[in-house]
Amino acid sequence: MANTILVGAQWGDEGKGKIIDYLTDGADVVVRSQGGNNAGHTIVHGQKKFVLHLIPSGILRRGKTCVIANGVVVDPVALVGEIHGLAERGIKVGKNLLLSDCAHLVMPWHRLLDEQRELRKGKNKIGTTKRGIGPAYGDKAARTGLRVGDLLDDKLFAEKLKRRLEENNAVLKSLGAKPIAYRPVLASYLAAARELRPFVTNTVVWLHDAMARGKNLLFEGAQGTYLDLDHGTYPFVTSSNTTAGGACTGSGVPPHRMDNVIGVMKAYTTRVGEGPFPTEDEAVGSMLHGMGREFGATTGRARRCGWFDAVATRYAAMINGIDELAITNLDGLDAVPTIRVCTAYKLGSKTLLYPPTDTADWARCRPVYAEFPGWMKPTSGARKFSELPPAARRYVRALAELTGAKLHIVSVGAAHNETIRL
């Protein structure tokens, strides 16, 4: 296996955690390069279900190294909690985890500002995960952020924290929120720092060294293409580059060392949070929620659901340079007699094959649908492509063709073995 970037080709929650876990067999190192603990990657291992937020999904496998690279924003207290949670369930985190000293810290004021900004937006809210992600990346861009490396010197950290807290408390007060007390934050961050110190390193040098030793890297994208800060449905996006380029800036591994981009997409579409979603369909949502599916792994929110949107995935293939596709959750459509796929948008009298860049225009687009006969049979027992019902095979082939990439993996259930490789 070569160096592979895995990205979500829709609005996140495409089932990336499961596909990463599946592909980890052929990788030595799994790298997170953007986002923070807004992510929720669900992996079913044997009888156990794990939800990871910050730690790359490779952590469940022996002999794999997991890297939280420079582009991630890290809430150190949440990261320590995640490490403890894994330990309690028998997963040892030690030399198999590395944390970049350049990764920015999510601070308590980021979470409060996230909440305040959402409150003030009222009905125009983004629907964030309230993990402080936007304000943390905001500080990074404004050059006022604190980084993991700052945690390593208690005295300097205490001074920097004091200064940052003064400014942010003034902002919080002006918004009518309660200011944050200095001492408890200092204590909890220094306690987390003590636990995280053994993992902290220059991950750029480490990754280049690993490549020199012939190791294969797997870049685990978080969120999805249309939550990308530049290419998504702005402002209804997250604050990092969730698309393939983000893996390079977020890790210090240059573009020419990347060999392959895999796009993960559901056999239908979901989205959590506000923003345009032309193929949204309440009946699809009630069906999937009725099956106990499509509730958020991080916030527990019911996800908005709709038909597969090939206009969106076609553009995602372009932005990310997707070579191969992993189509997940095919089994979610097992009981649908007629399945719709959006092949184009209508915006007024215009027919669009790619989404409009203006978010308000995108919200006005009407889907043009093609219809596919359903297979009305369970698919989760299939292990080979030939074992899928013919109508299911035709359906996934059509999704790949409409998106314009090669079909590589079809997932028919959450478990590791419920996977078909083509």
**Site residues (CB under 5 A) for Mg ion?**
13, 40, 297
In the bound state with ligand IMP, the residue whose beta carbon lies nearer, of 128 and 279, is 128
Q: In this complex, which beta carbon is closest to Mg ion, that of residue 299 or of residue 380?
A: 299
Residue 363 touches which member of Mg ion, ligand IMP, none, C-beta under 5-8 Å by kind: none
> Which residue in the set 106, 227, 262, 333 belongs to the binding site for ligand IMP (CB under 6 A)?
227
Q: How far is the CB of 331 from ligand IMP (least distance, A)?
A: 20
- Sites for ligand IMP among residues 239-258 (CB under 6 A): 239
Quick one: what does residue 227 bind among ligand IMP, Mg ion, none, with the CB cut-off 5 to 8 Å set by partner type?
ligand IMP
- Least separation in angstroms between residue 30's CB and Mg ion is 16
Give me the catalytic one of 28, 41, 75, 139. 41
Distance CA 165, CA 344 (A): 49
Helices H / strands E in the chain, number of each:
12, 20
Closest CA to 342 of 374, 378, 312, 384: 312
For the record, the structure tokens of 204 come out as 């750029």
Query: Is 41 annotated as catalytic?
Result: yes
Instruction: Of 4, 1, 6, give the one whose Cα is nearest residue 265.
Output: 6
> Looking at beta carbons only, is 127 or 149 nearer to ligand IMP?
127
Toward Mg ion, which CB reaches closer, 96 or 242?
A: 242
Phi and psi at residue 382, in whole multiples of 5°?
Answer: -70, 135
H or E segment at 187?
Answer: helix 182-196
Output the smallest distance, CB 181 to ligand IMP, in A: 25
Q: Segment contacting ligand IMP (CB under 6 A): 125-133, 157-165, 193-201, 259-267?
A: 125-133
The option from Mg ion, ligand IMP, none interacting with 126 (CB < 5 to 8 A, set by class) reads: ligand IMP
- Contact with ligand IMP (CB under 6 A) among 223, 243, 320, 343: 223
Q: Stretches 160-168, 170-178, 219-227, 344-352: which one binds ligand IMP (CB under 6 A)? A: 219-227
Q: What is the pattern of x (binds ligand IMP, CB under 6 A) and - over residues 261-290?
A: -----------xx-----------------
Within residues 34-93, the interface with ligand IMP by CB under 6 A covers 38-40
Pick between residue 54 and residue 330 the one whose CB is nearest to ligand IMP.
54
CB of 294 to ligand IMP, least distance (A): 11
Instruction: Give me the least distance between CB of 8 and Mg ion, in Å please.
Output: 9
Q: Does 18 contact ligand IMP by CB under 6 A?
A: no
CB–CB of 110/136 below 8 Å?
yes
Minimum distance of ligand IMP from residue 41's CB (angstroms)? 8
3-state secondary structure the chain: CCCEEEEECCCCCCCHHHHHHHHHHHCCEEEECCCCCCCCEEEEECCEEEEECCCCHHHHCCCCEEEECCCCEECHHHHHHHHHHHHHCCCCCCCCEEEECCCEECCHHHHHHHHHHHHHHHHHCCCCCCCCHHHHHHHHHHCCCCEHHHHHCHHHHHHHHHHHHHHHHHHHHHCCCCCCCHHHHHHHHHHHHHHHHHHEECHHHHHHHHHHCCCCEEEECCCCHHHCCCCCCCCCCCCCCCCHHHHHHCCCCCHHHCCEEEEEEECCEEECCCCCCCCECHHHHHHHHHCCCCECCCCCCECEEECEEHHHHHHHHHHHCCCEEEEECHHHHCCCCEEEEEEEEEECCEEECCCCCCHHHHHHCEEEEEEEECCCCCCCCCCCHHHCCHHHHHHHHHHHHHHCCEEEEEECCCECCCEEEC
Which range touches ligand IMP (CB under 6 A), out of 86-94, 122-130, 285-293, 348-356? 122-130
Widest distance between CA atoms in the chain: 66
User: Between 13 and 418, whose beta carbon lies closer to ligand IMP?
Assistant: 13
Q: Taking contact as CB under 6 A, which single stretch among the options 79-87, 220-228, 358-366, 380-388 is the one that binds ligand IMP? A: 220-228
Applying CB under 6 A, the site for ligand IMP has a residue count of: 20
**126-165 mask for ligand IMP (x: CB under 6 A)?**
xxxx-x-xx-------------------------------
361 as an active site residue: the answer is no
List residues near ligand IMP by CB under 6 A. 12-13, 38-40, 126-129, 131, 133-134, 222-223, 227, 236, 238-239, 272-273
Active-site amino acid positions: 13, 41
